[in-house]
Amino acid sequence: MHRFIFFTTVAVILSVTTAALALDGAALVGRWQLVEPARDEQGRPCPFVGQQIEFTADSKMISANMPVPFRYKVNPDKGDAAGAVARNPQLKGMEIMLATVGEAQSDWSKAPIVYGVDLKGAQLTMKVSGYTPAQYKRQK
């Protein structure tokens, strides 16, 4: 009986901790200015991170270098996140954000763009496999 209580307590603590560490989509909303560009091994800039990115409350990511707004999803379910990391092992250990072009994405497991994301206050890191991390600062 004591083991059951112990394991149940540990499970609850882990789930609360995991939820607390999950990327807060609402905290992402706003305009972000690039301060450190993402580059590949040859020094070319990443086409999926712009000089300025705006995240909207209706899950759109807008940037001048993107021909149309991307739809994005933070905190994908465990299966979608695991599949994204399996395809992009450089992003292991980061929060995952999926992105796609178009109005709707019925199957996020097939999202063509995968970002590793780290948000700490007014600092945002976005990483795409094959590129160095891009660093952003929140605009006021």
pLDDT value, residue 4: 39
CATH 2.40.128 fits 24-138, yes or no: yes
Ordered per-residue pLDDT tens for the chain, 140 residues: 545 343 333 333 333 333 334 688 889 999 999 999 999 999 999 988 889 999 999 999 999 888 888 999 999 999 999 999 999 999 999 999 999 887 665 688 888 899 999 999 999 999 999 999 999 999 98
- Angstrom distances, CA of residue 23 to CA of 28, 83, 110: 8, 18, 20
Angstrom distance (rounded) from CA 67 to CA 16: 39
Angstrom distance (rounded) from CA 26 to CA 113: 20
pLDDT value, residue 107: 82
Please, are residues 3 and 10 in contact by the beta-carbon 8 Å criterion?
Answer: no
Q: Going by DSSP bridges, is the β-strand pair 70-74/60-62 parallel, antiparallel, or unpaired?
A: antiparallel
pLDDT value, residue 25: 82
pLDDT value, residue 29: 95
pLDDT value, residue 1: 55
Residue position matching structure tokens 């807008």 = 62
Cα angle at 67 between 64 and 69, to 5 degrees? 80
pLDDT value, residue 23: 80
pTM of this structure? 0.79
